[in-house]
Structure 1
Amino acid sequence: MDKQKRLAKPILWAIILFVGLIVSILTAITFGNADLSISDVYSVIGYELFHFEQFQAFATGATHDIVWLIRFPRVILALTIGMGLSVCGVVMQSVVKNPLADPYILGISSGASFGATLAILFGIGSVFGANAVGVMAFIGALITSLLVLLLANLGGRTNLTKIILSGLAVSAICSAFSNFVIYIANDKSATVQIMFWLMGSMASAKWHIIAVVLPIMLVGTLIFWSQYRQLNVMLLGDDTAITLGMNTQQLRRWYIILSSLMVGFAVYAAGVIGFVGLVIPHAVRLVFGSDHKYVIPFSALVGSIFVIWADVMSRIVLRNSEMPIGILISLIGAPCFIFLMIRHTHRAGGK
């Protein structure tokens, strides 16, 4: 009976969040610069998803293209990016045992952006074909994450301060190299494209991009969810994990590689979007505790809903213009990071 009571709350929240995600998707599709009626929007969706004959008139035309080729992919991409970055934030915080870790703060997003910059400006990685930018972003994210851990372990045992400083240093180096590459390339059209990566946006959402990124995020999330016991043990420290017979070093490497893959393709699809992996896991832990059995799936759901509505806000906050979503989320995430840093200092025995 007690077990049923313990499971009742997570199941109820899972249902609420899943319904909230569906409602968010259906509502976000109705926002846009084009003046379309809600019935027309849902008629297009109804035809494309279910091929209802009564919606045959919406199979082609301007309304169809706006809804199915612009708005709907944008919402699904926001869902995908929110899920991936949130889950990567959860994993990073467990892997490095640092509550302030996320792909943005640890410099992984900057590394992915640098890899994408090299692919766009110089065609590096063209051997990978249409997904060259995504693969180069992944390689940049992987190298950056490994470099951060290497620097943090120099001169003795790693700690919170060393990890944060290593991430900031590596992020600054990647940003400097990206700016240098943009400067020497002297290509205005490419520079505009690079600005997309640096500020983040869902504007380039296309179904063929989602077909690549969404499976990676879903599979990555499911893999990490299946590893919830190992992630829970990691929070207890390496000594405890070794006592329980778990090889933390090997698992840590695999987790970093998979996280880098997810972050790299997130940057490939939507540019650099910071603080999602920091704010969402903390918000989820406030409600559900630190058990990764619940933190990972609920972070995926909450992160998806958050980024969907952040994208909607980025489209409507400025009249006749669009604010890059990376800027909007940073305006929210940076104060949260400062609050969490101060809170952690107090808990660690600061004044």
Structure 2
Amino acid sequence: MPTGPLVLTLLVATAVSAVVSLALGSEPLTISGVVDVLQARLTGGRGADPTYDTIVWELRAPRVLMALVVGAGLSIAGACMQTLVRNPLADPYLLGVSSGAGVGATLVIVLGALSGLGIWALSFGALGGALVATALVFGISMAQGGITPLRLVLTGVVMSAAFSSVSSFLVFYSADPRATQSVLFWLLGSLSGSVWAQVLPSVIAVSLAVAVLMALHSWLDALAAGPEVAASLGVPVAALRITLFVLVSVLVGVLVAVSGGIGFVGLVVPHLARIVVGARHRCVLPVAAVGGALFMLWVDVAARVAVRPQEIPLSVVTGLVGAPVFLLLLGRRHYTYSGGEG
């Protein structure tokens, strides 16, 4: 299917879905009321109904935008990771970044670390943990002989298990059941704490990542065909691997810092994109980004309305949806991944 019309269709569907999602939640709103608030705010005013204005603009709009950004970011990170390790079963959390972020977030919630940063404490704690995990995986891989797909996978899995153990110990150490519940809810993913101040840094991180990956799309195609093929085409394989590793790690660290751990998005969406538009990254990346944004938007809506007024962790929803979809994808015999069988 042509990429341009597909991306345009997905963008329109995402825009319409975003407006509809603003009306859905523990307190249902009318679409007309939501549109009135958006028109007033986008033209420099305030909505006629103060209640609608507060709910739509201050509470739900940052959350909707964050869902779009996180979905797009995790999807392109998954596509990039699958190319980096040449394994279609790889996902953005393979390098232990999510587990490292979990340790940082747990320290903030359980021990009150970085409490002076206010609403930023959790985000900075998680981002710091993610960057520490990235540095450790990178340092260990380089010390063992350099960045290779197998070494990255094995080091990431081992470090992920180690960081998860540290998080579990901190939760066990905590005597506050509310802190324990907060940690577990965050580790499973949540956008309930999204505020406008957090949106812009996430948008910048995802936008820069998309720009860099689109600029490197031909090198990514060559790397997916194998390091020997890439080297014969003049691609600096070692430098490219390091660049992709750092890019994915920082991107995932930024996203996990604001949303917690959300599974299956970076695994399933790139698969669907490759089935629809083929394996070329020039086509896969934009389709995966917009498709991931749309998917995460409706995942967040489901998490908000399924058992309202309570919320379901996002990974619960993505697991329930993503697991059967992924199993169906594995059953498609004609589907292959560039550089290996998928």
* Same fold? TM cut 0.5: yes
- Structure 2 unaligned blocks of 5 or more: none
Match of 2:289 in 1: 300
Q: Does structure 1 conserve the Cα–Cα contact (< 8 Å) formed by 2:95 and 2:134?
A: yes
Match of 1:3 in 2: none
Answering whether residue 279 of structure 2 is matched by residue 286 of structure 1, we say: no
Answering whether residue 66 of structure 2 is matched by residue 73 of structure 1, we say: no
Answering whether residue 11 of structure 2 is matched by residue 14 of structure 1, we say: no
Q: Does structure 2 conserve the Cα–Cα contact (< 8 Å) formed by 1:90 and 1:296?
A: yes
Give the Cα–Cα distance (whole angstroms) in 1 for the partners of residues 134 and 87 of structure 2.
Answer: 14
Using the TM superposition, name which of 243-252 and 166-175 deviates more. Answer: 166-175
Answering whether residue 43 of structure 2 is matched by residue 50 of structure 1, we say: yes
Q: Does structure 2 conserve the Cα–Cα contact (< 8 Å) formed by 1:112 and 1:263?
A: no
Aligned residues between the structures: 337
Q: Does structure 2 conserve the Cα–Cα contact (< 8 Å) formed by 1:200 and 1:270?
A: yes
Aligned match for 1:328, one of 297, 312, 317: 317
Q: Does structure 1 conserve the Cα–Cα contact (< 8 Å) formed by 2:26 and 2:308?
A: no
Q: Does structure 1 conserve the Cα–Cα contact (< 8 Å) formed by 2:101 and 2:129?
A: yes
Aligned match for 1:28, one of 21, 24, 28: 21
Give the Cα–Cα distance (whole angstroms) in 2 for the partners of residues 155 and 212 of structure 1.
Answer: 35
- Structure 1 unaligned blocks of 5 or more: 1-7
Query: RMSD between aligned alpha carbons?
Result: 3.2
Answering whether residue 256 of structure 2 is matched by residue 267 of structure 1, we say: yes
Q: CA deviation at 1:237?
A: 1.7
SS of the residue aligned with 1:201? coil
Q: Deviations over 1:188-224 (max 9, x none)?
A: 4433332232111111111111122222112222221
Residue 23 of structure 1 aligns with an amino acid whose one-letter code is V
Q: TM-score, normalised by structure 2?
A: 0.86
Per the alignment, do residues 41 and 127 of structure 1 end up closer, same or farther by CA in structure 2, a change over 3 Å counting?
A: closer
**Percentage of identical aligned residues:** 36
Q: TM-score, normalised by structure 1?
A: 0.84
Match of 1:231 in 2: 220
Give the Cα–Cα distance (whole angstroms) in 1 for the partners of residues 158 and 271 of structure 2.
Answer: 24
Give the Cα–Cα distance (whole angstroms) in 2 for the partners of residues 170 and 256 of structure 1.
Answer: 15
Q: CA deviation at 1:62?
A: 1.9
Give the Cα–Cα distance (whole angstroms) in 1 for the partners of residues 69 and 217 of structure 2.
Answer: 21
Give the Cα–Cα distance (whole angstroms) in 1 for the partners of residues 157 and 332 of structure 2.
Answer: 20
Q: Does structure 1 conserve the Cα–Cα contact (< 8 Å) formed by 2:95 and 2:249?
A: no
Give the Cα–Cα distance (whole angstroms) in 2 for the partners of residues 156 and 47 of structure 1.
Answer: 55
Match of 1:4 in 2: none
Q: Does structure 2 conserve the Cα–Cα contact (< 8 Å) formed by 1:142 and 1:257?
A: no
Give the Cα–Cα distance (whole angstroms) in 2 for the partners of residues 151 and 250 of structure 1.
Answer: 14
Aligned match for 1:184, one of 165, 173, 184: 173
Q: Does structure 1 conserve the Cα–Cα contact (< 8 Å) formed by 2:10 and 2:290?
A: yes
Give the Cα–Cα distance (whole angstroms) in 1 for the partners of residues 258 and 146 of structure 2.
Answer: 38
